[in-house]
Amino acid sequence: MGSRIAAVGVAALAAGTLSTGSASAWSTADAASGPEHCAIVIKKVEPGQAESKVVSEQCADSASALNVRASGTAAPPAPLFTLYDDSNFAGRSYTIYGYDGDCDPAGYRYPTLGWSYNDFARSIRLHGACNTANVHEHANWGGAVTRVNDYRSDLGYLNDRVSSIAVWHS
Ligand SMILES: [Ca+2]
Q: Cβ–Cβ contacts within 10 Å for residue 29, how many? A: 23
State the fold for domain 2-168.
Answer: Gamma-B Crystallin; domain 1 (2.60.20)
Q: In this predicted structure, what is the pLDDT of residue 23? A: 39
CA dihedral (1, 114, 87, 137) positive or negative? negative
Pairwise CA distance, residues 19 & 39, whole Å = 12
In the chain, what are the domain boundaries? 2-168
Spatial separation of the C-alpha atoms in residues 43 and 73, rounded to whole Å = 12
Amino acid identity of 125? R
pLDDT tens sequence across 7-61:
333 333 333 333 333 433 333 444 445 558 889 999 887 778 777 888 888 888 8
* pLDDT score for 64: 75
Q: Ligand 1 centre and the CA of 118: distance in Å?
A: 7
Give the up-direction half-sphere exposure of residue 55: CA atoms within 13 A in the CB hemisphere: 19
pLDDT single digits (tens) 121-143: 999 999 999 999 999 999 999 99
Residue pLDDT, tens place only, 78-125: 999 999 999 999 999 999 999 989 999 989 998 888 777 899 999 999
Q: Give the per-residue pLDDT at 71.
A: 60
| Residues 110 and 53: beta-carbon distance below 8 Å | no
State the distance from the centre of ligand 1 to the C-alpha of 138, rounded, in angstroms: 4
Cα 51 to ligand 1 centre (Å): 17
Integer-rounded Cα Rg, in Å, for the chain is 15
Expressed in angstroms and rounded, the spacing between residue 21 Cα and the centre of ligand 1 is: 34
